[in-house]
A and B are shown apart, each in its own frame.
Chain A
């Protein structure tokens, strides 16, 4: 709700909101993917 209220296409801080979003999502998803990849490799060479 807060995001919708604060972020607007014309607000100067909107790219900053996107940047934080990209960073947060990127870290969480990529971390999950790479840990899963490492785990799969671990299982393969065990």
Chain B
């Protein structure tokens, strides 16, 4: 029963995490208001800084990422120290209060679950890749509508090469003219066919040529990567051996 109660309590506290801080710091608000009426700028600034720090810490805690509770504790310590020093005029005793606020916050939010920050999203593919994908998708749509298997195979082979290049933008510049020629060619052929053109007999070997060229490009990229990996492995092996292992 106790573990169930504790689990429920942790869920509730995780849901409302951080809201306690501005609540506990709320006496600083009337103090700032009365300070304004009294014309005491130092009290007003100290109290507002203290309350602002509690809001900032609460916001950080609400995010719930790993290390946020620790950071929030530091913010609370600084805020309480400033409020104590400037607002309450407690001098060096404000340091004791700041330390109390730090350890109090650390204990109050101990064991509440914190999650890891999300991994950084992969960079978007280069514009040339995005355009090539869209254009090839249109070519494939025409091929499907006409039931043209050869055009479909050629577009699919070029798309495979494009997808291979999407992961290696550094290789794109070297092969872009060749790739553009293929995508342009396929797009024009598809447009003519869609307009009702009768395919000439030379079209079939041309599409086969496109397919072969795209597959060769695909294989060449793979082969170069494999060669680079083999070189890297050899280099590391030699270094390991040179280090005496």
- A residues with a Cβ closer than 8 A to B are 3-4, 7-12, 14-15, 17-18, 20-37, 39-41, 43-44, 46
Contact = CB atoms under 8 A, between A and B. Distances in A.
A22 B90 CA distance: 22
B10, B88, B89, most chain A CB atoms within 10 A: B88
A21 B101 CA distance: 9
Contacts of A17: 107, 110-111
Interface residues of B, number: 53
Question: What does DSSP make chain A's interface, helix, strand, loop or mixed?
Answer: helix
A39 B84 CA distance: 11
B38 A30 contact: no
B14 to A, nearest CB: 10
A45 B20 CA distance: 32
Nearest to B51: A33
B108 A40 contact: no
A40 B89 CA distance: 10
A43 B35 contact: yes
Contact of B35 (A31, A34, A40): A40
A20 B107 contact: yes
Top 9 A-B pairs, shortest CB-CB distance: A33-B27, A21-B107, A25-B104, A21-B108, A24-B104, A28-B100, A40-B34, A36-B87, A7-B110
Interface stretch (B40-48, B155-163, B169-177, B181-189): B40-48
Given A29-B80, A36-B87, A10 B104 contact: no
